[in-house]
């Protein structure tokens, strides 16, 4: 069974599939080894980790493809790509899907923001006309080679026009061929319930994975009971890594050693295990002269 189909079936089950965000192959390996069944390449995370910049439309399509390729090559679980706004019009969206699928992605997020876009939990967002986004989703559906390749159509209209408009847009995107829809940044549990009840397709919700997002933290069991299909945590790896690195670096600067934080550090043997050193050594011996 293809990774696309695995991901597609997990989403169709509508059991609040948790999908942590990743920004490189190392964070993806940690997600896989923790037992998660899928991961999501976070545009916010890639922009921060690779460029040290915010998620405001600076990353290019090639930047995202490179990230997806290295991540998908490092893990066996399905990887969803971040396609931003499709990097242009419907034709650009078509080729974005083609290239992301070829890079190893099992699915992709496409959003209806005006380019340059912003992180979904930032302010001052704008959205393109519904009809324009519908054409992008139609192009994305036509571009996929594997019919189970997941198209996650994201709308940011809740912030600009309210929940009713966001639901109408979401339904238009489902009708255009989206596998599921991602209504970004609902502010209450009641909003999420209204979205799930109003959309005639699987719904994805983002829990951010870092304190301070616009959507309140809700337990996966509660989201499962609501009928949410997929729950992304785009910031969980970057946020936790950043906090841990800051603590370690401050300790080193203050004390001249890492003894004060040693219990928080991953031992060298664990680091090498995460990146598969033992398997690579065995492969090295298999092909040695």
Summarize pLDDT for 132-180 with one digit per residue, the tens.
Answer: 999 999 999 999 999 999 999 999 999 889 999 999 999 999 999 999 9
More confident residue, 102 or 124: 102
Q: Cα separation of 5 and 106, whole Å?
A: 8
DSSP character for 51? I
Q: Is the pLDDT of residue 107 over 90?
A: yes
Q: How many CB atoms lie within 10 A of CB 142?
A: 13
Prediction pTM value? 0.93
Query: Residue 117's pLDDT is what?
Result: 72
Within 8 A by CB and 6+ apart from 242, the residues are none
Separation in Å, CA 150 to CA 93, 133, 138, 248, 269: 14, 17, 13, 39, 37
DSSP character for 114? P
Q: Cα separation of 92 and 96, whole Å?
A: 6
User: pLDDT exceeding 90 applies to what percent of the chain?
Assistant: 87
Domains of the chain: 3-236 (3.20.20.60), 242-286 (no CATH)
- In which band, very low, low, confident or very high, does the pLDDT at 119 lie, cut at 50, 70 and 90? low
Query: Residue 187's pLDDT is what?
Result: 86
């Amino acid at each position: 069974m293809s990774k696309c189909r695995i991901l597609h079936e997990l989403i169709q089950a509508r059991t609040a599939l948790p999908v942590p965000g990743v920004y490189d192959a190392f964070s993806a390996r940690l997600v896989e080894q923790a037992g998660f069944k899928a991961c999501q390449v976070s545009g916010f995370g890639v922009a921060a980790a690779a460029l040290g910049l915010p998620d405001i439309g600076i990353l290019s399509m090639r930047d995202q493809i490179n990230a997806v390729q290295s991540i998908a090559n490092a893990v066996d679980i399905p990887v969803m790509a971040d396609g931003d706004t499709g990097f242009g019009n419907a034709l650009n969206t078509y080729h974005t899907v083609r290239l992301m699928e070829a890079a190893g992605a099992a699915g992709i997020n496409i959003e209806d923001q005006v380019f340059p876009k912003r992180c979904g939990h930032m302010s001052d967002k704008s959205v393109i006309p519904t009809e324009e986004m519908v054409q992008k989703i139609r192009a994305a559906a036509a571009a996929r080679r594997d019919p189970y390749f997941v198209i996650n159509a994201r709308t940011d209209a809740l912030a600009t026009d309210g929940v009713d408009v966001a639901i109408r847009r979401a339904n238009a995107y489902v009708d255009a061929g989206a596998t599921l829809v991602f209504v970004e940044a609902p502010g209450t549990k009641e909003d999420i319930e209204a979205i799930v009840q109003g959309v005639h397709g699987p719904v994805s919700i983002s829990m951010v994975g870092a304190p301070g997002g616009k959507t309140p933290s809700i337990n996966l069991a509660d989201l499962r009971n609501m009928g949410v299909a997929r729950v992304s945590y785009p910031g969980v790896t970057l946020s936790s890594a950043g906090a841990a690195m800051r603590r370690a670096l401050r300790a080193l600067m203050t004390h001249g050693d890492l003894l004060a934080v040693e219990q928080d550090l991953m031992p060298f043997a664990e680091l090498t295990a995460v990146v598969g050193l033992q398997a690579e050594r065995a492969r090295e011996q298999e092909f040695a002269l």
